[in-house]
Amino acid sequence: MSIVISKEKQAGDLINDVQKLSGIDIRSCLQCKKCSNGCPVTGLTNVHPSDIIRAMQLNVGDKIFNSDLIWMCASCETCYARCPMKINMAEVMDALRVLSVQKNGPKQKGNVPLFNKSFLRTVKMFGRTYDIGMIAAYKLGSASLLQDTDKFPMMLLKGKIALIPSFQADKKYTRRIFGRKLGNTQS
Amino acid sequence: MRYSYYPGCSAESTARDQYMSVNEVAIALNIELIEIKGWTCCGSTPAHHTDKILSIALPVANLLMAQKTGLEMVVFCAACYNRMKVANHEIQTNPEIRKEIAATLGEDYDGSVKVHHFIEVLIKEIGVKKLKEAFTHSLYGLKVASYYGCLLVRPKDVTQFDDPENPTIMDKLIKLMGGEMIDWPHKVECCGGGFALSRTDIVVELSNSILGMAEASGAQCMAVACPMCQINLDMRQSDIHKIKGRDYNLPVVYITQLLGLCLGISPKKLGMDKCVVSPKPIIELVKVAE
Ligand code: SF4
Ligand code: SF4
């Protein structure tokens, strides 16, 4: 990847925000690239996990949110398992995703933030996920209505999708949990 | 042997077969799984994508419910298992988080509820000898690729499940059932996990590489211990066929379904009719009466 550093003053100090959110010392990265070599999505994008760290070290600022890797990272933790400096990249990615949503970062393929929102909304409502409600909200919003329609009849028939939500959850705790404001957590 | 059981949301939808087979195997082996009353979602990937406290508070709510029963917790879904373990780890090692979670839930949690994956219970609590005695049927040399994926084995210091690069706990079970375990390099590769709906393209790429390697290694079926791995590797074979032109037709079953067959439980009771790629060749090999 080529990292473009502009001379203009960058808005905010991204590396500090990410360190504060994730509790991880990003400056200790050696750029050994073990993370990138083991990352399952490395072959599908031009930006690799070690590039994300390097970009932050070089203070490229919010431009980092243009990197598609942030929303392609599957949180598989292979990078963390192999990092000699014990940098938990999966948590770094979580912090970048939280910041990207907060800062209204560019919408990317698959609109993962919308998926997350649709998923969590059903958890807030029912205490458990409700696939049909979640899929409807996500698909309507992401205009991918036709994707996978071929599978619904089969899934219904096999009982792999529940028509009605479960009402068995005790919402004592979830009510309190979802009473908080989301996305501005510190650790 | 009694445990507090957390089935997780997929048990009520995409992974009913997992739920059924875990229950059947538990009954056959005299393991009492007591479902946590009123359990709620662990938050899975959307929670840790969104907010750290949310991602810990959701599992802690369930750990608190389990704690009140006085029993240790058993989970099967690898994602739920991982989130429960991460929550325990954070509560134990980060006093700030513990305080914030206590304020959120209105109740303090000390991180002490022991969490086991169901197959850990089989190996560590029931033990190899008793398991072997309980089997009435055999896999007759069926070549099985055991697939662990990410969330059981990583991060190692948190899940403490098995070796993070070459786990063998499922392989032991396969051998015990008379199957042939395949030595293959993709045991802990990622299938795309939670991108099942949002980034199907990534799931197709990653699952294709896993299925391809399983096939090349001579596997006749794959055994999994995670509902996300199961649905990605099983249901997406038709998409992989369309997009990549590869036709695997490789059954992907839960390890508990194989165990159930060897315990003489009918395939129907194990939910094996719910697999997308038909597991019939396995059922015929083991010859369990419907
Ligand atoms: S493995 Fe760790 S030290 Fe090496 S490049 Fe990646 S983050 Fe940096
Ligand atoms: S956690 Fe994300 S960045 Fe790390 S190896 Fe997995 S997909 Fe790549």
Residue A4 lies in a domain: no
Residue range of the domain that includes A134: 112-179
A61-82: pLDDT as tens digits: 999 999 999 999 999 999 999 9
* β-bridge pairing B115-117 and B73-75: parallel
pLDDT at B120: 96
User: Per-residue b/e over B34-56, b at no fewer than 16 CB within 10 Å?
Assistant: eebeebbbbbbbbbbbbbbbbbb
Report how far residue B91's alpha carbon sits from residue B108's, in angstroms, rounded to the nearest whole number.
10
B202-223: pLDDT as tens digits: 999 999 999 999 999 999 999 9
How buried is residue A44: exposed, middle or buried, by Cβ count under 10 Å (0-12/13-18/19+)?
middle
Please say if the pLDDT value at position B10 is more than 60. yes
Closest residue in B to A144 (Cα) is B198
A27 and A97 assigned to the same domain: yes
What pairs with residue B3 in β-bridges?
B33
Nearest CA to B29 among B153, B133, B106?
B133
Asked if residue B155 has a cis previous peptide bond (ω within 30° of 0), the answer is yes
A59 and A117 assigned to the same domain: no
pLDDT at A8: 56
pLDDT at A12: 57
Task: For the beta carbon of residue A10, count every other beta carbon within 10 angstroms.
Answer: 14
Residue range B105-129: mean pLDDT, rounded: 96
B150 and B265 assigned to the same domain: yes
* Angle at CA of residue A31, ends A30 and A36, nearest 5°: 135
Which residue of B17, B39, B40 is the best one to mutate when testing the A interface, meaning the one whose CB has the most A CBs within 10 A?
Answer: B40
Q: Cβ B105–A177 below 8 Å, yes or no?
A: yes
Please say if the pLDDT value at position A143 is more than 80. no
pLDDT over 90, % of chain A: 64
Residue B123 lies in a domain: no
Asked if residue A40 has a cis previous peptide bond (ω within 30° of 0), the answer is no
This model of the complex carries an ipTM of 0.92
pLDDT at A93: 97
A48 and A80 assigned to the same domain: yes
Which residue of B20, B35, B51 is the best one to mutate when testing the A interface, meaning the one whose CB has the most A CBs within 10 A?
Answer: B51
Q: Residue of the nearest CA to atom 4 in ligand 2?
A: A79
The two three-digit tokens of residue B217, written as one number: 């290694």
B151 and B259 assigned to the same domain: yes
Report how far residue B252's alpha carbon sits from residue B241's, in angstroms, rounded to the nearest whole number.
16
A21 and A96 assigned to the same domain: yes
Q: Cβ B97–A166 below 8 Å, yes or no?
A: no
Q: Cβ B12–A128 below 8 Å, yes or no?
A: yes
| Cβ-based neighbours of B168, under 8 Å, separated by 6 or more | B162
- Spacing, Cα B95 to ligand 1 middle (Å): 28
B221-254: pLDDT as tens digits: 999 999 999 999 999 999 999 999 999 999 999 9
A35 touches A49 (CB < 8 A): yes
Q: Residue of the nearest CA to atom 8 in ligand 2?
A: A39
The two three-digit tokens of residue A154, written as one number: 């089969």
The B residues from 46 to 75 touching A (CB cutoff 8 Å) are: 46-54, 57-58, 61, 64-65
At which of A102, A127, A156 does a domain end? A102
Q: From the CB of A33, is ligand 1 less than 6 Å away?
A: yes
Residue range B160-179: mean pLDDT, rounded: 95
pLDDT over 90, % of chain B: 94
How many independent structural domains does chain B possess? 2
Residue range of the domain that includes B252: 128-286
Residue range A36-51: mean pLDDT, rounded: 95
At which of A82, A102, A122 does a domain end? A102
Q: From the CB of A29, is ligand 1 less than 6 Å away?
A: yes
pLDDT at A10: 55
Residue B55 lies in a domain: yes
Instruction: Out of B53, B193, B201, name the one closest to residue A74 (CB).
Output: B193
- Spacing, Cα B91 to ligand 1 middle (Å): 27
Please say if the pLDDT value at position B127 is more than 70. yes
A63 and A92 assigned to the same domain: yes
3-state secondary structure of B75: strand
**Mean pLDDT of chain B, nearest integer:** 95
- Spacing, Cα B177 to ligand 1 middle (Å): 41
At which of B118, B150, B169 does a domain end? B118
Closest residue in A to B230 (Cα) is A160
- Spacing, Cα A83 to ligand 2 middle (Å): 11
Q: Which amino acid is at B265?
A: I
Q: Cβ A187–B52 below 8 Å, yes or no?
A: yes
The two three-digit tokens of residue B209, written as one number: 């590489």
The two three-digit tokens of residue A8, written as one number: 């203009």
pLDDT over 70, % of chain B: 99
Report how far residue B152's alpha carbon sits from residue A66's, in angstroms, rounded to the nearest whole number.
31
A27 and A90 assigned to the same domain: yes
Nearest CA to B187 among B163, B203, B205?
B163
pTM of the model: 0.94
**Please, which pLDDT band fits residue A9 given cuts at 50, 70 and 90?**
low
3-state secondary structure of B142: coil
B116 touches B3 (CB < 8 A): yes
pLDDT at A2: 65
